[in-house]
Structure 1
């Protein structure tokens, strides 16, 4: 029987504590793949908690692919690939190419990126509108926004410009607030110095190509966000589409490709809305750690320099991760 010490006075809810405890046991192989978990009622009685608490923890584990619910049989542990321990604080490691946001943005022709030339389609009125990126005017508090902007401009005045004039990464205060939000809400340890603010995700796609290198092959989800591939290609990168199934990005196809960079959205894939399973997440992380001999970088300007292995990177698009109909947000990779 699973036995855990749950603290009702802890800042985290009981179901979150139970979810984390079971998830840790699965990742550390303390719970064997295929083993059956106790029924919700049995575990609730054993731990002295409510059935709803156990149900919420099981539901979250199932949503992330750690366990599987089988009708009339119960919950069973899914098999995860063996993964090596890694240092989550290594995000500040030196990357091969120097980041030059200004140069990267200049590589993108704004005319070619304009959607004004795309022909409009006469849509038939429908009962419900499921289109993405809806900007319904009645949903935005324009009055409050305008009042806040006027007050801020009146009080801060020139100081707003002076604080960001010498840092292309964006406002230091905003980056600090984002770092705090990531730590509390997403469990990510990132310093303000590691955060770069751009005019939306699309503005930063070219920066990523400049940062990681145009000689790379970028893998994107197929189906996926169509503008993503366009932006990468206009920035000079070679792009390949990797199919997506109910578990997320097909890592087997990714391995067979020549891509050394994978752009994916594990928490909420667009347009399918699927969540990448825990098994697929571990496979993707394993792919990133592998240093294939085929992934080499040749300096065209220095033929005398030997080829060196290329590191693999995952660009995790955390699109829409804050919104969940039920349960806690899906953890990042």
Structure 2
């Protein structure tokens, strides 16, 4: 079945095509909301929603009392990190020194007094801890034997129903029977990998890519193919198609919505093309949609699963980045691989804990989750802008910063003369932790890049920390 495309998205696509083809150039004023509404025969609200979407993608800018104006792709690319260009090799490896560094950084995040820009989740004060505690108490009353019994292998029924309900926000047509709960998103991806490929196969990923994905793939005896990736639109589909045509890729593991660390969001047209490629070459896509709910625009971006009528997309997610990291509540809609994933979970992963799943289901059931998300998204959007502004003020000239429209990570690129591993070591004296870019690839690249989380609410201490990072960079340049 062809996925339903809202009218405002159709309007947004028409305009974005004109922008990308250069029919509208930088500085051109777009038609007023009322004028475009009359020309296209759609409501004013539809046009307004289309402009919101284009603004979130950085294609237009709103000027108070004046209207909307075009921004070109080249204009945006002057400020964001450069397109990645990994080597065309499928079996690079990571050094033990990098693993030691990663272990040390993970430990620093938990130490009192540290400023953890390396943090991989929103700060605890941004999460509804008190309300979750009440939800846990209610779940204990509702479940048989206070939640001490085993759950269904497929997972808590109430939770699966709620996830299916929330999929309606992006046009999903799922039922509880299409979903399997997991131990977080990593647990979901692990089950999917075991169900779809074998040791020695090659998995295509973005570059840079979250280090947890890299080490998961290596631990399973899989080859890693890092794809060239645009900081605004995601992986280069032409390059991927070449590898698929040559039979060199057995699966893809991608983060189309607000990838970690780049924060790029693949346009809908790219997602549709990606799914068609996978159908053509009968290749599964393990879709990590962990950050899809953390969008800054009015509407949630669609996952690739929305364009997947034949089940080649295994849609994975969790509540670890939005609600409760420690609950480890995740899921997968495995499509045509459902029976294989369920069998592997039955014999290798076992039962999921019912108490936390029921608590999350209760939290979702009365729309408390959506209220929490609206507040969290607004905080993160504000944080993102203030972090970017502060970085531009204190970091060396020529610094490039990603422009995510969701999630909570910034990818910062400084001059290649800088060494962000040396920067990381110097910042330990200040009790500041960052993630150096070298950790996000198995290849010797991104040594002048870093990932910074804006999941910490912006305050005087955060500003001091960013200023100190800039100071350490200037010190490094002076040596």
**TM-score tier (shorter):** 0.5 to 0.7
What displacement does 1:245 show?
A: 0.9
Structure 1 residues 146, 49: closer, same or farther in 2, change over 3 A?
Answer: closer
TM-score scaled by structure 2?
0.45
Is residue 145 of structure 1 aligned with residue 132 of structure 2?
yes
Q: 1:115 to 1:317 in 2, by over 3 A?
A: farther
Partner residue, 2:196: 212
CA shift for structure 1 position 268: 0.7
Distance 1:240 1:160, change over 3 A: same
Structure 1 unaligned spans of 5+:
1-15, 79-113, 292-310
Q: Which residue is 2:249 aligned to?
A: 259
1:65-144 equivalence runs, <5 A: 69=60, 118-120=103-105, 130-134=117-121, 136-144=123-131
- Provide Cα deviations, 1:155-183, integer angstroms capped at 9, x if missing partner: 4342745471xx3221122112211221x
2:217 is matched with: 232
Cα RMSD of the aligned pairs, angstroms, is 4.3
* Alpha-carbon distance in 2 for matches of 1:273, 1:35: 27
With a CA cutoff of 8 Å and minimum separation of 6, indicate the structure with the bigger relative contact order: 2
2:260 to 270, 276, 285: 270
Decide whether the 8 Å contact of 1:179 with 1:192 is kept in 2.
Answer: yes
Instruction: Classify 1:116/1:193 alpha carbon distance in 2 versus 1 (closer, same or farther; 3 Å).
Output: farther
Instruction: Give deviations 1:135-160, integer Å, cap 9, x for gaps.
Output: 53433444443343234324434274
In structure 2, what is the Cα distance between the partners aligned to 1:20 and 1:142?
A: 35
The normalised TM-score by structure 1 is 0.62
Q: Pairwise mapping of residues 120-199 of structure 1 onto structure 2 (< 5 A)?
A: 120=105, 130-134=117-121, 136-158=123-145, 160-162=147-149, 164=151, 167-182=152-167, 184-199=168-183
| Rounded Cα–Cα distance in structure 2 between residues aligned with 1:185 and 1:157 | 32
Note the C-alpha offset of 1:74.
6.0
Higher mean alpha-carbon deviation, 235-244 vs 221-230, is at: 235-244
Match of 2:83 in 1: none
- 1:324 matches 2:303: no
Deviation (angstroms), 1:330: 1.1
Local SS of the residue matching 2:180: coil
Matches within 5 A, 1:29-44: 39-41=31-33, 42-44=35-37
DSSP 3-state at the match of 1:327 = coil
**1:63 offset after TM fit, Å?**
4.8
For 2:103, what is the secondary structure of its paired residue? Answer: coil
Structure 2 unaligned spans of 5+: 74-98, 110-114, 305-479
Tell me which protein shows more helix as a share of its residues. Answer: 2
CA distance in 2, matches of 1:238, 1:53: 45
**Kindly tell me: are residues 115 and 172 of structure 1, through their superposed partners in 2, closer, same or farther at Cα, counting changes over 3 Å?**
farther
Q: Contact 1:163–1:171 at 8 Å: present in 2 too?
A: no
Computing the radius of gyration from Cα coordinates, the structure with the larger value is: 1
Is the Cα contact below 8 Å between 1:242 and 1:253 reproduced in 2? yes
